[in-house]
Amino acid sequence: MVNEDLKSQSVQGAIEEWRQICGETGDGLRTEIGRLIEGHKESLVDLFYRTMLDNPEAAPFLGHELINKRLRFSLQNWLSTLFRIDSDVDLSDTILMQKQIGLVHARIHVPIHVVARGARILKREIADRLCAAGLALEDLVKGMEYVGDLIDLAMETISSAYVMGTARNVRTDEAYRLFSLSQNISVERERQRAALLEWGHQMLFAFYGQKRAAMLPIGTSAFGLWLRHKANVIFEGAPEIQNIHLVMIRIDEDLMLRLEQAAGEQVAVIVNEIERNLLEIKYLLTTLFDRYLEIENARDVLTRLLNRRFLPSVLSREIAIANRRKTGFAVLLIDIDHFKEVNDSFGHEGGDLVLQQSADLILGLVRSGDFVFRYGGEEILIVLVEVGNASAFNVAETIRNRFASTPFRIDAARTAAVTVSIGVAAFDGHPDYEHLIALADGALYRAKSGGRNRCEASFEVSLPQQD
């Protein structure tokens, strides 16, 4: 691993920059600065950690015992290594030390901006000591540049490794999450419902059996442990998780304490409250699992189109491919005209049938390499890969014409006439996929404002917009 790091272009580039910074400063001034920092490193480190402990973002990652046992020595060693006096040393170890620092910070999830803040504190304090050292003005300016450049270069190397380490951690976490979701999630849902029910029964048996010492908090139950250690990863970011945690806190820190002290009629009131809270958890749990069951195969349940949750991943990849291969691609944003009237006329079941048939129609008109998403209620988004502007607009017109000429079946006796408005946007080199979606959305707005049943584009087209 170390040999691979030594051969990497980034390491070799950092070594060359390091040598250049040292060469521009001169051995005499470097020696003086190195001795100054070596003499003040303990006070520099003390000030650094006092400042960091006062920072609410940094403090959770630090502690007096941790600082005194490990971090104080590590930071002193870092300063000594960074500004060592011997200019003939092999810089490879110094660079690799910065990379290791970045990887460690990524592994323990210390925010990189907190590390950068620490570097800024050190630069300021070293500058103050240089000013007090009685250096000639020219040497003072060069010295400050040397200290700033060297710390900045170290931070660049640390940040680069931090980003790589964080990306690796994210990939690992996502792989674990996807692995967990790939297990039989329906079975897991029933298992956790049973665990929730079991805790409720055990709590009531212990209470009415006068064994209150056996009334364990729901937070330490099998369900509570699963929620804290697995569900938080599997369903990361899901609002139901946070809400379930809040209900569990209410049960453990309020209702259970009140139940232990309750007597008479008050017991039944509190037990009913606990049961209502358990029903709320069960409802949130069902909602959570049902939503993830819907996207388990990355498809919308009603239309079987791709779920928009995966749109950022697809568009980011297509932008990378387009830049690498120098090809174009386009986004079509389709809105079913007056869809509310369809629902009003035929009911929501009729509206669902129209959405399903719309999806089938579109899938029949695009290539297997294209992507079709259920974007919103009655909106469908298409990513046309490796296509020119004129061809993309032509596809949009083909889709619009097919909708206008196709009767949509509601039941054996009724059909609905359906038209669509389409906004077309072509990739213009902008690296942010949101920019492309915004272009398509703006074009769709113009299509709807222009009378609907029409296509508009983010680029100039020579094709007719109406038959």
pLDDT for 89: 57
Beta bridge partners of 383: 331, 371
Q: Is 56 exposed, middle or buried (0-12, 13-18, 19+ CB in 10 A)?
A: exposed
Lowest mean pLDDT among 4-8, 21-25, 188-192, 318-322: 4-8
pLDDT for 177: 57
pLDDT tens for residues 399-439? 999 999 999 999 888 999 999 999 999 999 998 999 999 99
pLDDT tens for residues 337-357? 999 999 999 998 999 999 999
Angle between helices 72-82 and 137-182 (to 10 degrees): 130
Residue 221 confidence (pLDDT) above 50:
yes
Decide which of 72 and 7 is more confident: 72
CB atoms within 10 A of CB 77: 12
CA 382 – CA 366 distance, rounded (Å) = 9
Confidence band (pLDDT; 50, 70, 90) for 178? low
Q: Is 409 exposed, middle or buried (0-12, 13-18, 19+ CB in 10 A)?
A: middle
CB atoms within 10 A of CB 122: 22
Mean per-residue pLDDT, 129-140: 91
pLDDT for 4: 45
CA 2 – CA 172 distance, rounded (Å) = 22
Residue 1 confidence (pLDDT) above 70:
no
Residue 231 confidence (pLDDT) above 90:
no
CB atoms within 10 A of CB 316: 13
Q: 3-state SS string over the chain?
A: CHHHHHHCHHHHHHHHHHHHHHHHHCHHHHHHHHHHHHHHHHHHHHHHHHHHHCCCCCHHHCCHHHHHHHHHHHHHHHHHHHCCCCCCCCHHHHHHHHHHHHHHHHHCCCCHHHHHHHHHHHHHHHHHHHHCCCCCHHHHHHHHHHHHHHHHHHHHHHHHHHHHHHHHHHHHHHHHHHHHHHCCHHHHHHHHHHHHHHHHHHHHHHHHCCCHHHCCCHHHCHHHHHHHHHHHHHCCCCHHHHHHHHHHHHHHHHHHHHHHHCCCHHHHHHHHHHHHHHHHHHHHHHHHHHHHHHCCCCECCCCCCEEHHHHHHHHHHHHHHHHHHCCCCEEEEEEECCHHHHHHHHHHHHHHHHHHHHHHHHHCCCCCCCEEEECCCCEEEEEECCCCHHHHHHHHHHHHHHHHHCEEECCCCCEEECCEEEEEEECCCCCCHHHHHHHHHHHHHHHHHCCCCCEEECCCCCCCCCC
pLDDT for 466: 46
Residue 266 confidence (pLDDT) above 80:
yes
Decide which of 210 and 266 is more confident: 266
pLDDT for 61: 72
Confidence band (pLDDT; 50, 70, 90) for 295? low
pLDDT for 435: 94
Residue 226 confidence (pLDDT) above 80:
yes
> Who's near 447: CB < 8 A, 6+ residues apart?
421, 422, 423, 454, 455, 456
Summary mean pLDDT of the chain: 85
pLDDT for 9: 62
Decide which of 94 and 391 is more confident: 391
Decide which of 115 and 247 is more confident: 247
pLDDT tens for residues 14-62? 788 888 888 888 888 988 999 999 998 899 888 888 887 787 877 777 7
pLDDT for 467: 42
> Who's near 431: CB < 8 A, 6+ residues apart?
319
CA 423 – CA 380 distance, rounded (Å) = 11
pLDDT tens for residues 441-456? 999 999 999 999 999 9
pLDDT for 183: 58
Mean per-residue pLDDT, 256-272: 88
pLDDT for 104: 75
Confidence band (pLDDT; 50, 70, 90) for 114? confident
pLDDT for 234: 76
pLDDT tens for residues 372-387? 999 988 999 999 999 9
Residue 171 confidence (pLDDT) above 90:
no
